[in-house]
Amino acid sequence: MAILELAGVSAGYGPVRVLHDVNLSVNPGERLGLVGLNGHGKTTLLSAIVGLTGWQDGSIIFEGRQIGGRRTHGMGRTTPNIVRQGIALAPQGDAIFPGLTVRENLDSGAYTRATWRSRRSRCDHVLDVFAPLRPLLRQTAGTLSGGERRMVSVGRALMADARLYLVDEPSLGLAPKISLGLVAALCEINIGDGAMIIAEQNLPLLNGRVDRVLGMHAGELKQDVGEALGDIPPAAEAMAQGMHHGRAL
Amino acid sequence: MSKQPLIGRRSWRPSWPVNTEKVFKRRRYLGTKRSVLRLSGSYNPKTLRRELVLTDKKPTFWLIGLLLMLVLPIAVSNERFFALFGIICIYAAINVMWTLIIGTAGLQSFATLATVGVGAYGAAYLSITYGVPWPLMLIIGLFLGALMGFLISLPARRLDGLYYALLTLGLSEFCRNFVTQSDQLGGKFNGALFGVDRIVPSDLMTSWLGQVLLYISAFALLLVALAVFRWVNGGRLGLLLRASATNREDEAFSSAIGINFQRARTWVFMIASAALGAIGAFYAAYIGGTSLQVFSLDLLLLMLAMIVIGGLGRAEGAVIGTIIVVGITQWFTEWGPWRIVLVGVLALLSVLYTRNGIFGLKAQLKEIRQRRQALHRAGLTSRYAEFLPQQAPDIHDKAMIVGRTFERKLRDRLRGWITPVIIEEHRRKPLGQHSDHLERILNYFRQGPIPDKYAVYCEEPFTSYRVVALSGVPGVPPRVVDDKVYPSLDEAYHAVFLRRVNDLRSS
Amino acid sequence: MDVVFSALLLASMYGLVAIGISFTWASIGMLNLAQGFIFTAGGYTAFLFAEIASTYGLEGVALSVGLIVAGMLGSAVAGLAVGAVAFLPLQDRDNFRTRSLIATLAISLIGTQVWLIFFGPQNKPLPPIFGTGRTEIAGSGIGNGQLGAIVVAVLMLGAVILWMRSSRAGLQMRAMMMNPLGAAVVGVSVRTTGMRVLAISGALTGLASVLLAQTFFVSPTSGVQPLTVGLIISLAGGLGSIPGTVAAAGLLGLAEALTARYLQQSLVPFVLFGIVVLILIFRPRGLGGLLEDVRE
C-alpha cells in the first residue's frame, strides 16, 4: 500500500490556483525527487500535504487516513494535527527559531509527546548526520550561517518520529559544495519503510541518489523530467552542467 | 474613469441624457479648480445616446445628511432632542479629528480624550479664575491642544505603532490622577469645575431661541471639524501621508523620494490636537463646566466603539458611528448599563465580522463576490483554456477569456470526430458535399488565421502541385512546406487536410 | 527600609500584571487590553468565594489558599473567555493585531458594565489572607499582608519563569513567539497554545488582583489602574522580554515608592510617565532590548 496517495489535489492562495489536479502516490521506503523551476508549484505541493496553503481541495491519504479534503480557511490551522500523524517538513526558508539555541531548536522537532522523551538519542542521531552542528549546540540559532541554518532546519525535521519526510529546496541559496553535502547526507539517511520527498531545482544534485524523479511544470506533475525543465534558460543549464562535472571530478 | 468591462453587469450610477447640441459647462467652487459635482460624459451602449453620469455620489449624501441633522432637532424642538444632537455634534467633531490622527497620520493614538480634557480643564480653570470670555477660551484651548499634541507626538517618531498605542492609552488615566490629586483643580467637587462662561447667556438658556443657538453652535463645530478634515486629508499633507502610510517599506520608499513623512505626520497630529483642544474648550463653554468623566477609560472606549462601528479612517464612518452609539447611550437611558453592553457587542461584532465597520461593508461584499468569481473562473480556465490562471490576470478583456475557452472546447470536440472514416471520406472527395462532421471540421480549418495557413501552389497545371504555408504579411511570399510534389489538385487538397488534422491533433 | 518594602510590593504587583500582558503579546501577537476585566474577574470570584466560605465557616489557611486559588481560577476562565471572543475567531485573519486590540477593548467596555450590573458600584472588601499583624525586618515594620503578597508574588513569578525556561510546554510557547510558521511545522497548534497562554497570564493577573485587594478593594473599575500601569511597564520592559519586564517593574516600583515618600503623591503619574517616555526615546524597544544588546 502506498504511504501517501494524492488524488485530484488542487491548491492555491486567494484567487490564484497553483496546483492543478495533482495525482501522486509514494511507496514505502521510497525517496522521491521533485524537480521543477521556480514558481511551478513544488513548494505548494509540499505545503498542501501538510495543510499550509491558502485553500485546497482533493483527497490526500496518508497511511490510510484522509488528511486532505476541502479547506478554505487560512493557512496552517490543521497543520499541527497533520504533522503529529507522522509527517515532518523542512520548509523553504528554514523557519527556525532564531532566539533559541541549536539544541532547543532540534529538541522542538521532537515536540510530540511520544518522541519528547527520546529527544537526546534522536539528537545524537541527527548530529551524526550533520556533524558540523555538534560544536554549535549551545549557540543561538539566529547567529548561524545559511548552511548551518539549513542543517538545523532539516535536522529538526529528522528529529520527529515521522513516516514521511518532506524537504523543500535543501540547496536553495547555498554554495554548491555545501548543498551537495547536505543533499548527499539527506539521501543516506535510513528511512526504513518510511518515505522522503525532496523538492529541488537542481536535477544533477538528485540524479542517482533518489529512487524516482518527477517533474513539476505549471502546477502539474510530469513523468518526464525533461519536460519540466525543458525551458531552462541556458545559463542555469550551464550552471547545472558545471555542477555535474564538479561532482564527476 | 475605469474601463467598462465588455461582458457583465454595468455598475449603476445616476445618469441622465444630455442635449448633445450644447456644450457642457462644469461648475466649480469659487476660487478653486474643484467641480461642484463630479459629472462626466458617457455613452450608453443600450440607448445609443450620450448621457451625463454622476461619478461621485458622496457630496450629495453629505449634503442631505447634514441638512437633515441641522433641520431635524429644530423642527422637533424638543429639549431632549436638542441635547442629544448637540452631544452627537460635539462627539462627532472629536471623532472626526481622531480619524484624522488614526487614518490620515496613521498614528494609533489614544490620547484624544486626554487632549480634549486638557483643553477643557485649562480653559475652564482660566475662565473661572480670571473670567476669560468663551471666544478667548476657544483660542486658549487651541494653544493648549497644540502644545499637548507637540509633546505627545515626540515619542511617535521613535516608537512602533502598537507601542505608541499603549503609551497613549495610559495618558488619560494619568491626567485623571493628576486632576484628582492637584489642589487647584480637583480639591472641590471631586474634580468637577463649574461656573464657566457659557456660549449662550444664561438668561437665554431656558428659551427656545437659546436652545436653537446652542445647537447651531455645536453644529457649526462639527462643520468646522469636517472642513478641517477635508482640508488636511484632501490637501498636500494628506497626499504626502497617503504615499507613505501603510507600512515600513512604503515609509522607506517615500523617504527615498524625498517625502519627509515624519514631519507631515507631526503636522497633522498637531493640527488635529489643536482642534481637539479647542473642542474641549468649546465643550466646557457648552455645558458650563467640566468633569473627570472626560478622562475615564470607558468614555474613551465608547469613542473607539463609535469609530470602529462606523468604519476606521473615514469621516462619514466617524459621524455615523457617533450617531448610532450616542443615540443608543443617550436615548435609552432607562436601560442602565445594558446599553453600554449593547454598544460593546456592536463594536465586537463589527470587529469580528466586518473589515472596516459599516462603511467598509460595501467593499467587503464586493471583494467576497470577486473572490468567488475568480475561483470559479480559475476552475474553468484550468479545465478548458490553454493558459494558466497565474498568467490570466493580465487579460482584462473578459471576451478574450471567453473566446479562448470556446476555442478550446471546439477543438476538443472536433478532435474527437476525426476518425479514419472521415479521413477516407475526404481522400475520396476533397471538394463538394460532405457528411456533417467533415463539413464542420473543414469549416473550422477554413476560418483559421492567415499566417501559417496552408495553401496549394500550382507549379504546373494538372501535373505538379505543392503545399505551401502563407506568410500572412503582404509582399512576403509563402514558404514551401516540403519537397513533395502532388500530381493532381485533389491529392494536394488532401495533403493540406492531413497536415491540418495533424496540427489539430497536436494542439 | 520602608521605601524598599513599598517598592518591592509595587514592583511585584506590577510585574504580575505586566508579565501577563507581555507574555500574551509575544506568543500570540495580541495586545490583551481586557486585562483590566480579567483583573476584576479574579477579584470578584475571590469575593464570591469569601461569601460562600463565610456561610460554611471556613477560616485560616484553608480560606487564604481558597481565596488565592479562586481568584486565579476566575481570572484564568476570564482569560479563556477573552481568547474565545477576541483570539480564536480573528487568529488567522488579516490585520489580526489591530482587530484583536479593538476587540479586547470592546470586551473591557462590556466587562465593566457587566460587573456593574451584577455587583453594583460599591467597593467589595476581601478578608485578609495573611493575617493583620506586623513583622519586624531589619529594623522596620511591615504589615503581614504586604509581606505575604510580596513573597507569594515573587515565588509565583519565579515558578512561571522557571517553567517557561525548562519544560516542553515552555519551549512550545517560546517557539511560537519566535516563528509561528516553524511552530506549526513542528506540530505546535497556535490555537491551543494561545488559549493556554491566555489562561496562564490570566491566572497571574488574578493572583495580583487578590493580593492587591488586601490594600485596595474590588470594584467594577478597579482594573483600570493596574491595566494602565501594567501596560506602561510591559512597554518599558520591551514587550515580550521577561527579564526586561521584571527590571522595568522593579525600576518603576522603586521610582513610585521614592516619589511618594520624598516628593508628592500627585507627582507619581508624571514621574512614571516621564521615566517610561525617556526609556522609550532612548530605547524604542524598551529595557528588554537593552539587556539583549548587552548579552550579545
Q: Per-domain residue ranges for chain C?
A: 2-295
Could A15 and B382 be called an inter-chain contact, meaning their C-beta atoms sit closer than 8 Å?
A: no
Hey, is B395 helix, strand or coil?
Answer: coil
Chains that touch A (3 or more CB pairs under 8 A): B, C
Q: Which amino acid is located at B456 in the chain?
A: V
Give the N- to C-terminal CA distance of chain A in Å, as an integer.
40
Specify whether the CB–CB gap between B259 and B243 falls below 8 A: yes
The single residue listed with the C-alpha cell 458617457 is B42
Least Cα distance to B105 among B275, B320, B309 occurs for: B275
Q: Determine the distance in angstroms separating the CA of C171 from the nearest CA of chain A, rounded to an integer.
A: 7
Helix (H, G, I), strand (E, B) or coil at B119: helix
Confidence label for C286 from pLDDT (cuts 50, 70 and 90): confident
What does the pLDDT read at residue B255? 76
Task: Give the pLDDT of residue C202.
Answer: 92
Sign of the C-alpha dihedral, residues B149, B323, B235, B258? positive
Is the pLDDT reported for residue B219 higher than 70? yes
What residues of C are in contact with residue B351 (Cβ under 8 Å)?
90, 99, 102-103, 106
Partners of residue C224 in chain B, C-beta under 8 Å: 173, 297
A112 vs C172: CB contact, 8 Å cut-off? no
Strands A31-36 and A16-26, bridge-based pairing: unpaired
Hey, what's the cell of C102?
A: 479593538
Per-residue pLDDT tens digits for A142-172: 888 888 888 888 888 888 878 888 988 888 7
- Cα–Cα nearest to C218, from C12, C67, C24: C67
Q: What mean pLDDT is predicted for residues A116-139?
A: 83
Residues of B with Cβ-Cβ distance to A218 under 8 angstroms = 388
Contacts of B46 (CB under 8 A, 6+ apart): none
Q: In this model, does residue B205 exceed pLDDT 70?
A: yes
Listed ranges A228-232, B134-138, B197-201, B390-394; the one with the highest mean pLDDT: B134-138
Cell numbers found for residue B159: 516608537
List CB contacts (< 8 A) between A16 and chain B.
Answer: 378, 389-390
Taking an 8 Å cut-off on Cβ atoms, the answer to whether B351 and C103 are in contact is yes
Residue C105 in contact with partner chain A when CB distance is under 8 A: no
Rg (CA), chain A: 18
d(CA A158, CA A172) in angstroms, rounded, equals 19
pTM over 0.90: no
Nearest to C190 by CA among C177, C199, C201, C200: C177
Q: Is the pLDDT score of C9 beyond 90?
A: no
What is the pLDDT, as a whole number, of residue B426?
93
- Between CA B364 and CA B373 the distance in angstroms is 14
Which chain C residues are within 8 Å of A160, Cβ to Cβ?
Answer: 186-187
- Average pLDDT taken over every residue of chain A: 78
Residue C293 has pLDDT above 70, yes or no: no
Measured between beta carbons, the chain B residues lying within 8 angstroms of C24 are: none
Calpha distance C292→C178 (Å, rounded): 15
pLDDT tier at A239, thresholds 50, 70, 90? very low
Please state, in angstroms and rounded to a whole number, the distance separating the CA atoms of residues B276 and B102.
Answer: 14
The residue ranking higher by pLDDT, B464 or C180, is: B464
pLDDT one-digit tens code per residue, A200-212: 887 778 777 888 8
Per-residue pLDDT at B389 exceeds 70: no
pLDDT for C207-261, tens place per residue? 988 888 877 778 888 888 888 888 888 888 877 777 888 888 888 888 888 888 8
The band of C74, judged by pLDDT with boundaries at 50, 70 and 90, is very high
Do the bridges between strand A164-168 and strand A87-90 make them parallel or antiparallel, or are there none, so unpaired?
parallel
- Mean pLDDT computed over C286-295: 57
Domains and CATH numbers, chain A: 1-86+165-249 (3.40.50.300), 94-161 (no CATH)
Q: Model confidence over A26-64: pLDDT tens digits?
A: 888 888 888 887 777 888 888 888 888 877 888 888 888
Which range (B19-33, B137-151, B409-423, C129-143) has the least confidence? Answer: C129-143
Please give the pLDDT value at position B134: 87
Q: Dig out the grid coordinates for B257 from the structure.
A: 523620494
- Nearest chain B CA: its distance from C53 CA (Å): 30
Give the start-end residues of each E strand in chain C: 134-137, 140-143
C contacts of A116 (beta carbons < 8 Å): 168
pLDDT at A237 (0 to 100) = 46
Residue A125 has pLDDT above 80, yes or no: yes
Give the Cα separation of C150 and C174 in Å (integer): 27
- H/E element, B480: strand B479-480
Residue type, B139: I
How far CA A241 is from CA of A204, A236, C52, in Å, comes to 8, 9, 81
The x, y and z cell numbers of residue B450, run together, are: 492567415
- How far is C253 from C233, CA to CA, in rounded Å? 10
Contact by Cβ (8 Å): A99, A139: no
pLDDT of residue B69: 92
Percent of chain B with pLDDT over 70: 90
Contact B112, B276 (CB under 8 A): yes
The verdict on B158 touching C (C-beta cutoff 8 Å) is yes
B327 pLDDT band, cuts 50/70/90, is very high
State residue B5's pLDDT score. 46
**Residue with grid cell 438658556, as numbered in its chain:** B205
Question: With an 8 Å Cβ cutoff, is C171 touching chain A?
Answer: yes
Tell me, what's the ipTM?
0.85
Chain C contact for B151 (CB, 8 A cutoff): no
Burial of residue B474, with CB atoms counted within 10 A of its CB: 0-12 exposed, 13-18 middle, 19 or more buried: exposed
Q: What is the nearest CA distance from C168 to chain A, expressed in angstroms?
A: 8
B239 against B100, higher pLDDT: B100
Q: What is the pLDDT of residues B294-319, one digit of tens each?
A: 888 888 989 999 999 998 888 899 99
Q: What pLDDT was estimated at residue B146?
A: 94
C85 has a pLDDT exceeding 60: yes
Q: Mean per-residue pLDDT for B449-455?
A: 87
* Residue from A10, A35, A15, A46 nearest A168 by CA: A46
Report d(CA C74, CA A138) in Å as an integer: 40
Q: What is the pLDDT of residue A249?
A: 32
Domain boundaries, chain B: 15-56, 90-294, 418-506
- A18 and B390: CB-CB below 8 Å? yes
Whether residue A236 is predicted with pLDDT greater than 50 in this model: the reply is: no
User: What value does the mean pLDDT take over residues C11-30?
Assistant: 84
Find the helix or strand (DSSP H, E) in which C166 lies.
helix C144-166
Band of residue A231 on the pLDDT scale cut at 50, 70, 90: very low
DSSP at A65:
E
Joined grid coordinates for residue B492: 494536394
Interface test mutation site (partner C, options A79, A82, A118, A140, max chain C beta carbons within 10 A) = A79
State the pLDDT at residue C178: 77
- Mean pLDDT, to the nearest integer, of B88-103? 93
Alpha helices per DSSP H over B234-356: 236-243, 248-256, 261-287, 297-310, 315-331, 338-353
Distance CA B376, CA A28 (A): 37
In CATH terms, is domain C2-295 a member of 1.10.3470? yes
Task: Taking residues B28-40, report their average pLDDT.
Answer: 79
C255 interface with A at CB cutoff 8 Å: no
CB neighbourhood size of A168 (10 A): 25
Q: What is the mean pLDDT of residues B4-31?
A: 71
Q: How far apart are CA C199 and CA C38, in angstroms?
A: 10
- Over residues B214-240, the mean pLDDT reads 90
Q: Which of C167, C179, C186, C242 to mutate to test the interface with A (most CBs of A within 10 A)?
A: C186
Mean pLDDT of A179-208: 82
Q: Which of the two residues, C262 and B221, has the higher pLDDT score?
A: B221
User: What subunits touch chain C, counting only 3 or more CB pairs under 8 A?
Assistant: A, B
Chain B positions in Cβ-Cβ contact with residue A17 (cut-off 8 Å): 375, 378-379, 382, 389-390
Query: Looking at beta carbons, which residues of chain C come within 8 Å of A80?
Result: 184, 187-190
pLDDT score of B281: 93
C-alpha cell at B389: 490562471
- Tell me the pLDDT tens digit for each residue of B139-150: 999 999 999 999
Are the beta carbons of C108 and B340 separated by less than 8 Å? Answer: no
Q: How far apart are CA A17 and CA A218, in angstroms?
A: 10
A19 to chain B, closest Cα gap in Å:
10
Instruction: Find the angle CA(A106)-CA(A108)-CA(A111) to the nearest 5 degrees.
Output: 130
**Chain A contact present for C188, CB below 8 A:** yes
Residue C228 and residue B336: Cβ atoms within 8 Å?
no
- What is the phi/psi pair of residue B457, to 5°? -110, 130
- Tell me the CA end-to-end span of chain C in Å, nearest whole number: 36
